[in-house]
Every structure is written in structure tokens, then in C-alpha cells.
Structure 1
Amino acid sequence: MEYKQLGDVGTVVRGKRFVKDDMIDAGVPCVHYGEIYTKYGISAVQSISYVSHERARTLRFAQQGDVIMASAGETIEDIGKSVAWLGSEPIAIHDACYAFSSSMDPKFVSYFFASRSFRDQIRRSISSSKISSISTQNVAKARIPVPPLEVQREIVRVLDKFTQLEAELEAELEAELEARRAQYKHYRDELVGANGRRRIRLADLGTFVRGRRFTKNDVVESGIPSLRYGEIYTAYGTSATQALRNVRAELRDQLRYAQPGSVVFAGVGETVADVGKAVAWLGEEPIATHDDTFTFSSELNPKYVAYAVQTADFHQQKERHVSRAKVKRLSAMGLGAIEIPVPSLEEQESIVRSLDKFDALVGDISTGLPAELAARRKQYEHYRDRLLTFKELAS
């Protein structure tokens, strides 16, 4: 198979600068380089963003059948990502994009630009800095196989089919995961909120103590185990036995602590859903708590409390007490006003055992499905690269 430099089979043209503030919901189609590796696939017939007609008069355009490449990115892997533009009208391209025009099948070219062979070629020419990039000249020097047009189209047909199958499998696996999560939520809410159980305000069941302030600058590799409010809804599950971060030992006497068997609530969050999330602290030593958290101490099973405050009923009650500024807040008084069902200690332990098992099952699925997807993507990439690899004709 004959290989040629891109500059010998077509032209590589750089776009012109526009900024994100120029992008609007309707007008002249445009593509920003960052959209290529975050929002577009192999090809597109419709743009995601637009610029005004006035702004468009100063820009450069890719035509139908061109392949638009990201020439800059935050990582080396972002550079060279491409989309075949199959829309019926021209599309304005950012100055960190190149439009490659040729008589080759644009989707074949776009698939090749995604291949390991192409990416290995351009990697050697990428300049690395805060934003990595590749020049027009170096893109034009990259080599591409040039099979007959009918062969290009057949390869596109096969890869399109494989891409469709991969997308269908991904949707199926994600639907399966979502169904299991919904089933788990229903099961949890039913177990915790069984009819006939008395409901008692949290303030009548225990005490809330607010933590004390420490900052990200206080975090160290080894020191006092600590817990920040944001970690509760981003990094922790229902319970924890080990802290993710430590703070400086010199702060020891200035801080407040959650004791083993306490439940720590997030008092602040970016969304109403985040506020009021909780983790049962089951570590062997106290943990320092941030001033945007509340430590709840009671005679209840701490994991039962942490499960109970995940229910739909808890969240419905909580919404009445959350202050809705830019940052959402929930006070100790608001938390204390919320009621939870309180079965006997034996029942609490039984509920925790059941929910732990279900939680582990959902966790296994949550871990297993992404692994399955990753394996399928790797298989697809191997197959694509094999299809796009040809023995080069001797010079």
C-alpha cells in the first residue's frame, strides 16, 4: 500500500481565533478545539456551537468533507483528535484547529487520525508546555495510507458498524447499572422506612457539634486524620475506617474531633443534594472535622443513621431547611429538625447487614461494568488499528 504525506494528498489550513464568549446558541456553525476531544465523535453533521454572522466574517471555515483536527490540548493525547465534517454548510474553525481537505473519504481519514499509527507519528512533533500543540508543517508531514476509494469506504462501513455495536453495548451496560442503583435505592428506602416504625427528630436522638476550620494548606502527608465537608459527597461512602487526608500535628489542640461511632454530616455543598450527606466514622481513632461539617453522636447504630439519611424521605424533609444561596447550607438546627425512623438496635443491625450486602453487590457491578466497557473499547481500538495498518510499498 502506498503511504503519502498529508501535504501531498491534500491541504492543511489553520483556523482563526475566536473566544468562548463569541460562542452562542444559534447562528453560523463553529467548532472550538476543546469540543473536538470532549464532545465530538468520528464525524458530525451538526455543530454544537455557533458564532454571530458578524463574527463569522473574520473567521476561516472547513467545508463539507473536510476533517477538522485539534492542534492543541491540555494533554498530548488530546492533540490530533479529529472529526469529519459532513454538515451541509461550512463551519468556522478555531485557530487551534486545522482543516484537512482532500479527495479521500473524510471518515476514513478521521478514523486513521484516531489510530495508534498516526498518533505515534505526531507525538514526536508535539511541543510540550502548559498547552501542548503541533504545527501545520508537522501535521502536513505525517503519512497516511492511500488505498483505493472503494477500500476506504469499505473500511469505514466496517468501523461504523463496530462503533455502533460498541455504543449499543455501552448503553446497555449503563442502563443495567442504573437499574441496579434504582433497585438498591428502593430496597434501602423500604427497609429503613418500614410502616409502623416511630419517627424521631435527630435533635432528640443525639447531639450535633460543628467542626473547626482548617484549610487545604494545612493538609500534609502524615499528621492528624481529617475530614473536609466536600470529601463526604465526593470521596467517601456510607462509612469509613481510614481518613483520606491528614492535617498538621501543630493544629491538634485547635481542632474538634468525631469519635469512632459518630456520623459526620456535610453542612455545605454546591447543590442541595450534596448538603446533609453523611459518613459513619468507624476508625480506631478520632478524626478532625472541618467547620462546615457537623458530628452527630447518639446511641444509634452509626451505619444505620448514615443509611437512613440517604433515603428519599430524609431528602424531602431536608429541602425545607437548606438555605439556597450560591453555596447551599444546612444548619445543626435544620438537621436536628429532620425525623428518621428508629427501630430497635437489633433491627438497625439487621438493616445494616442487608444494606451492606446490597451495597457491595451494586459496588461490584459499578466496578465491573466500567472494566467491561474498557475491555470492549480496547478490543475495538485493536481491531480499528489492524484495519488501518497496511504493508507499505517498497520505495
Structure 2
Amino acid sequence: MSRIDELIAEHCPGGVEHQPLGAVGEFIRGNGLQKKDLFDEGFPAVHYGQIHTKYGVWTEETFSFTLPTIAAKLRHASYGDLLIATTSEDDEAVAKATAWLGNTDVVLSGDAYIYRHSLDPRYVAYFFQSEPFQEQKKRYISGTKVRRISGSSLAKILIPVPPLEVQREIVRILDTFSKMEAELEAELEARKQQYEFYADQLLTVERDIQRVKFGDVATIVRGASPRPIQAFLTNQADGVPWIKIGDVPAGGKYITTTAQCVTPAGAAKSRRVKPGDFVLSNSMSFGRPYVSKIDGYIHDGWLAISNFEQYYVRDYLYYLLRSKAIQEDFARKAGAGTVKNLNADIVRSVVIPLPPKEDQERVVDLLDRFDALVNDISTGLPAELAARRQQYEYYRDKLLTFKPLETAS
């Protein structure tokens, strides 16, 4: 029997009482603090947006501060209070919370609540992450583009309230999982930095290596868009793949499928790419190369790169185009404005190294190993991290699900 089972058998064999959050605490709305009021020193302060991006289950210090004169006018959270962001553009992030464990008070912005309660603070914060909480909150979220939940609605959500000793044991176990996950995240980040360093080293060639204009060793052309595109989209069997940015997985290398197809007439007005050709974005993921594994067609937000095989090993060219030096050259030539335009002439003009193919293959072999370690979701560190997260989520939800206390009728 596990320690949790022992504690439950000892303290609550008949089940655990479930109470509304409002019955074991109170929700206090944050007020007044704006982004312009945040500084690098002063009185500890948290803006609701930072809860989404910077804080985990609990924290002992803030990333931002405000002036004491401003803090004096705001509502304060104390040790053990929960800081809750109550608005977001996606439902899952609504009511993201972090427990404040600092040794001073902290002030909180609007669009957020302070939850002052009588439970273990980290236990409550873990509960706010759990599936039981997420399922209950769905019925209370409102709004269209900006989704939100009120303090009065949060107060209605039921939380299991086991004895404090059980709460603390649950926190101990989940903290252990969180620590392992954090260690893996740190290792993955360190490996990514190491990968980028060695990639730059391996792709920086000797001065006596031949250099060529990219356009002299490859065919580089802009995509084309049949217009209006809606008139050419089709679900018919004779449709051909229509490649868009959204068809490429985040951080992915290959284009393997598309969400939409165009008619043969639309294809005739577009630009064809064959398996093995590169497509290069000149818009959203600026300058990012991808390798097509399908026969498809691209719009004018892409460039197509082909007929390079005489000079380059495909994977070497992929790594070369992703390298810091080439990406910086793309950006510099595309201009300094907010909207950069990476057109075909610019890409053709970029001067790139052309080492012997045996050297290219050696570099590919080394970088493939690093790449698998830091990016492969099936074998590398990302796979291990994903497995840890899945394990953590399973045990978190299991540990925070209790048999309700049976009451006499």
C-alpha cells in the first residue's frame, strides 16, 4: 500500500469531502496594475499575462516590480494565496494559476484574481491544473474572442478537501514529477544551444572552399496563386495538393500532406514542386526551408528550390539554409522593415559555400545525430520529456480524484 493509500485509509476511509472553492476561501479581484507600471525593481508585482507565460505551479519571486506608491493603491496577495489569470484567447489557459510562496506581499493586475484559502497552496495550484478542475470550469467560461471566467463562477467549482497531511503528501509526489520535468527541460535547452553551436561550427567552412551564388547552382522561383483561390479549391478526386504554411508541423522538416487541394485548372496557374524539392517561406516563418515529400503546388508566399542535386547533398543544403549565417544574410538582404520580403532574386544572390560532397555527407551524419537528440519526438529528449509530462498528468489527475464522502441521508 502506498503512503497516500495509508493516509487515506487512516484519515478518510469513507471518502473525501468535496467543497466549493468559495466555501474554503475567497476570490479577490486584482486591480489597477498595468504593463507600463512594471519595472526591474521595487515592490513585487505580477501582471495577468505573465501568469500565462512566465510562472509555473508556484513561485517565490516575481519577474517584475512596481513603484511602492503604485503598490500602495493595489490589492495585495500574501504567502499561500493563489494568483489566477481569468482571461485568455483559449479555454485551456483560462484560470491558469500559480501559488505565491514569497516572503513578502505581491500586487496583481486586473483580469486576475487572488484566491485566499485555508488549504495547502501548492495542493490548490495543482488542482487548478487537473482534469477535474478543467472539466468543471468549462460550464462557466464566457466571451467570444477573449474568453473569461468570474470569481463568482470559480467559487462554485468543487475541490476535494482531504486532511492537510494527505494534501502535503500529494504535493510532495507531484513536486518530484515537476522537478524531473524541469530538469529534462533544462537539459533539452542546453542540448539545443550545444546543437546550434556545433551546427554553426560544422557549417563554417575553410576560406579556400569554393563559394557560389545560390542561383548559379539551383533553380529558385516564386510560387504562384490562382485567384480567387476559393474558386479553385476542390474535394474532387482529381484535386492536387495545395501547400500552405499550416501544413508544416511546428519545427518540422518535411511536407508530407496538405489540408486542401486545388483543381487541375488551379494547378496550371500555380507552381509545381516535386518530391525532394525545397520550399522556402518568404512570409510567416521567414526564410525557413522545408523539404517536400509530395507532388504539390505552392502559392506566392513560397519560393521553390530545385535542380541542386549535382552540387549538394539534400540534407546538407537543408542544414546550410537553416544556419545562422545564411538566415542572417537572408534577413539583411530582405530589408530592415517590419515586413520582410525574401524574393527569388535575393535568394539567388546569396553566396554559399560549396564543399566536396564527401564533406557534406560527413557534416550531415554528425548533425543528424544532434538533431535527433534535440528534435526527434519519437526517440530524442523531446520524446522523453513528452513521456514524463504524460506520466505527470496521469498521476496528478489520479492523485486529485477522490471518492466523495458518503453522507447520511
Indicate if the aligned counterparts of 1:13 and 1:98 stay in contact, CA closer than 8 A. Answer: yes
- Whole-Å separation in 2 of the counterparts to 1:341 and 1:146: 65
Q: Residue 141 in 1 paired to residue 156 in 2?
A: yes
Q: Does 1:367 align with 2:395?
A: no
Percent of pairs with identical residues: 34
Which string of whole-angstrom CA distances, capped at 9 and with x for unpartnered residues, describes residues 325-365 of structure 1? 22334555544444445567xx48x9569838964883585
Deviation at 1:39, TM superposition (A): 2.1
Q: TM-score, normalised by structure 2?
A: 0.71
The 1:325/1:117 distance shift into structure 2, 3 A limit, reads closer
Aligned to 2:340: 328
What does the per-residue CA deviation read over 1:54-103, in whole Å, with 9 as the maximum and x for residues that have no partner? 65455333222211223333333223332111223332333432222233
**Closer/same/farther in 2, CA of residues 231 and 71 from structure 1, 3 Å limit:** closer
The Cα shift of 1:235 comes to: 7.2
Cα deviations across residues 257-312 of structure 1 (Å, max 9, x unaligned)?
5577765544x4578xx43x545667556x34516636565673673655554456
**Does 2:233 align with 1:220?**
yes
2:390 maps to 378
Matches within 5 A, 1:228-243: 237=253
Q: Is the 8 A contact 2:225 2:298 kept in 1?
A: no
2:179 is aligned to 164
Say how many residue pairs are matched.
Answer: 383
Q: Measure how far apart 1:45 and its partner are.
A: 1.9
State how far apart, in whole Å, the 1-side matches of 2:275 and 2:383 are. 34
Alignment of 1:1-395 (within 5 A): 1=12, 3=17, 4-16=19-31, 18-52=33-67, 55-56=70-71, 58-127=73-142, 129-176=144-191, 179=194, 189=203, 193=205, 198-205=210-217, 208-212=220-224, 220=233, 225-226=241-242, 237=253, 246=261, 255=270, 263-266=278-281, 268-269=282-283, 274-275=286-287, 277-279=288-290, 283-284=294-295, 287-290=297-300, 293=303, 300=310, 303=314, 305-306=317-318, 308-311=320-323, 314=326, 321-330=333-342, 332-342=344-354, 347=357, 351=360, 355=364, 359=368, 362-363=371-372, 366-368=376-378, 369-395=381-407
Q: Is contact 1:64-1:85 (8 Å) kept?
A: yes
Q: CA deviation at 1:51?
A: 4.6
Distance of aligned partners of 1:208 and 1:372 in 2 relative to their CA distance in 1, 3 Å threshold? closer
Change (3 A) 1:247 1:115: same
The alpha-carbon distance between structure 1 residues 367 and 178, as it changes in their structure 2 partners (threshold 3 A), is: farther
Determine the C-alpha separation between the residues in 2 that align with 1:261 and 1:371: 27
Residue range with higher mean Cα deviation, 207-216 or 327-336: 207-216
- Aligned pair in 2 of structure 1 residues 83, 217: CA closer, same or farther (>3 Å)? farther
User: Matches of 1:243 and 1:156 in 2, distance apart?
Assistant: 44
Query: Which letter maps to 2:157?
Result: A
Q: How far apart, CA to CA, are the structure 1 residues paired with 2:218 and 2:208?
A: 22
Q: Are the counterparts in 2 of residues 5 and 144 from structure 1 also a CA contact under 8 Å?
A: yes
Unaligned runs of 5+ in 2: 1-11
Contact 2:242-2:260 at 8 Å conserved across structures:
yes
Question: Quick one: distance in 2 between partners of 1:74 and 1:291?
Answer: 27
Partner Cα distance (2:256, 2:117) in 1: 60
1:183: Cα distance to partner? 5.4
Deviation (angstroms), 1:17: 5.3
Q: Is the 8 A contact 2:137 2:157 kept in 1?
A: yes
Taking the aligned partners of 2:343 and 2:141, their CA distance within structure 1 comes to 52
3-state DSSP of counterpart to 2:45: strand
Q: TM-score, normalised by structure 1?
A: 0.73
Which residue identity is paired with 1:33? Y
Cα distance in 2 for residues equivalent to 1:140 and 1:7:
4
Name the CA distance, whole Å, in 2 between partners of 1:235 and 1:333.
26
* Root mean square deviation, CA, Å: 4.4
The Cα of 1:151 is off from its aligned counterpart by 4.4
**Alpha-carbon distance in 2 for matches of 1:291, 1:127:** 36
CA–CA separation in structure 2 for the residues paired with 1:316 and 1:5: 55
1:240/1:282 contact within 8 Å kept: yes
